[in-house]
Structure 1
Amino acid sequence: MARILALDYGTKRTGIAVTDELQIIASGLTTVETKELLVFLKHYISQEQVELFIVGEPKQMNYEASESETSISKFLEQLSKAIPDIPVKRVDERFTSKLAFQTMIDSGLNKKQRQDKALVDEISATIILQSYLYNQS
C-alpha cells in the first residue's frame, strides 16, 4: 500500500502529516512554507509512494466555506495540474487548531514551545489525517 499525505494549508505555511505504508498511523511530517509546497510535494512523491492527498476544508460554524477557501481552491487547481495522478479528498478541519493546541498542552510542552505556529500546523495536519483514517474504518 502507499501512504496518504494530509495538508493543513495556510497562506504562509502548510502543515503536513503522513500515514505509514499500511495506512494505520498518522504522524506529523513537517511544516513547509506554502510558496515551496508544490516543490516539496513533488520531491516527496519521488521518494515515497503516495496514493491520496487529504486537504483540510475550513468551514464556519454554519458549515459555509471560510474566507481561506479561495486560496485553498487556487492551490488545489495547481496541485491537480502538477500532480494529476494522485486524487485529493477534503476533510472538515474545524477545531483542528484548538485540538492541536490542547494536544500540545496535554503533551507537556511549555508556553514557548506552544507558540511555535509551525508545530501547531503540523499537529493540525496530523489531526486532519487521523480524522480521515478514523472515518474510513
Structure 2
Amino acid sequence: MRVLALDYGEKRTGIAVTDEMQLIASGLTTVATGTLLTFLKDYFTKEKVERVIIGEPKQMNGLPSQSAVFINAFVDKFTEQFPDMPLERADERFTSKMAFQTMINSGLKKKQRQDKALVDEISATILLQDYLSRKNKL
C-alpha cells in the first residue's frame, strides 16, 4: 500500500506518493487546490493508499504560520470525506527551500525553477521522503 503526501497551498497542492513497498517517494502531480478532494477521491479508488501525510507549516519559533488556518480547514474537510483514511501532519518548514535547491542541483534552468507547480510537487516529495526516513528508523 502506498503513502501519499500533500504540500497544501491556497492555489496549488503538490502531491507525492510512495511505491507499493514504501521505499521511494516520487512526485505525482500538482493540482489546483479547489479540485484536490475530487482528485483524491478518484486516486483512492484506483490505488491502495495506507495513509496521507500533509505538511504543517510552522514559523521558525515553532508556532503555526499564517497558512495553518487554510490547511486546518482542509484537514477538517478531508477527515469528513475520508473518515477511514489515516492523516498525519508533518513539519514542512524547509521543504520549499530544499525543493528549490534540489532544482538548482539537478541543473534545471532558471525558467524551469520558476515553475511553482514543480516546486510544490518536489516539496511534497521531500516531505514524503522525510516521513519514510523517520518511519524506517523506528
TM-score interval w.r.t. the shorter chain? over 0.9
Residue matched to 2:37: 38
Q: 2:14 matched to 1:15?
A: yes
TM-score by length of 2: 0.98
Look up the match of 1:29.
28
For residues 1-137 of structure 1, the aligned pairs below 5 Å read: 2-137=1-136
Aligned mates of 2:5, 2:95 — CA distance in 1: 13
**CA distance, structure 2, for counterparts of residue 28 and residue 19 of structure 1:** 9
Letter in 1 for 2:56: E
Give the gaps of 5 or more residues in structure 2. none
The list of structure 1 runs, each at least 4 consecutive aligned residues, that deviate by more than 3 angstroms after superposition, is none
Kindly state the Cα deviation for residue 85 of structure 1 after the two structures are TM-superposed. 1.1
TM-score by length of 1: 0.98
Deviation track 1:41-61 (CA, whole Å, cap 9, x = no partner) reads 000000000010000011000
- Per-residue displacement from partner, 1:27-82 (whole Å, max 9, x unpaired)? 00000000000000000000000010000011000000000000000000100011
Distance in 1 of aligned mates of 2:90 and 2:74: 16
Q: Aligned with 1:27: secondary structure? A: strand
Aligned equivalents of 2:4 and 2:108: distance in 1?
Answer: 25
Matches of 1:122 and 1:107 in 2, distance apart? 15
The count of aligned residue pairs is 136
Q: Distance in 2 between matches of 1:29 and 1:113?
A: 17
**Identity between Structure 1 and Structure 2 (%):** 65
Could you say what the CA RMSD is over the residues aligned between the two structures, in angstroms? 0.4
Task: Measure how far apart 1:102 and its partner are.
Answer: 0.3
